[in-house]
């Protein structure tokens, strides 16, 4: 991942928030069963993994959006030009019919 500043609309952490289970000490780890230890590790992994997956998804969405913008702009410009050309042609035909009928 490149070291670049995040987009301006991404919230940033302004204070340290401690959540999840308490850290393991030597005596705590010895008193936990294997299942309890596995559960605590999975909780920690889940917290970090959820955050990291969300960050990666946001990055991919931003990259894809940036890549598609020029194509969208080109297609929209083409559609607008075609619609305007058709509207002008129809207006010219309507005026010619109105002018021919009034002669």
Annotated domain spans of the chain:
26-101
Q: What pTM does this model have?
A: 0.43
pLDDT in tens, 83-94: 999 999 999 999
Which residues of the chain register pLDDT less than 70?
Answer: 1-2, 6-30, 101-103
The residue with tokens 């080109």 is: 74
Question: How confident is the model at residue 3, as a pLDDT?
Answer: 72
Q: Do the Cβ atoms of 23 and 41 come closer than 8 Å?
A: no
Cβ within 8 Å of residue 39, ≥6 positions away: none
Angstrom distance (rounded) from CA 103 to CA 98: 9
The C-alpha angle with vertex 69 and arms to 67 and 73, in degrees rounded to 5, equals 145
The residue with tokens 């670049």 is: 4
């Amino acid at each position: 991942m490149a070291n670049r500043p995040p987009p301006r609309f991404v919230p940033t952490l302004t204070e340290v928030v401690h959540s999840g289970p308490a850290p393991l000490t030597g005596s705590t780890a010895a008193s936990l069963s294997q299942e309890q230890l596995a559960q605590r590790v999975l909780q920690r992994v889940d917290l970090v993994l959820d955050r990291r997956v969300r960050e990666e998804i946001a990055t991919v969405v931003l990259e894809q959006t940036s890549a598609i913008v020029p194509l969208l702009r080109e297609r929209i410009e083409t559609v607008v030009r075609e619609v305007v050309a058709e509207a002008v042609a129809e207006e010219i035909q309507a005026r010619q019919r109105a002018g021919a009928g009034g002669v």
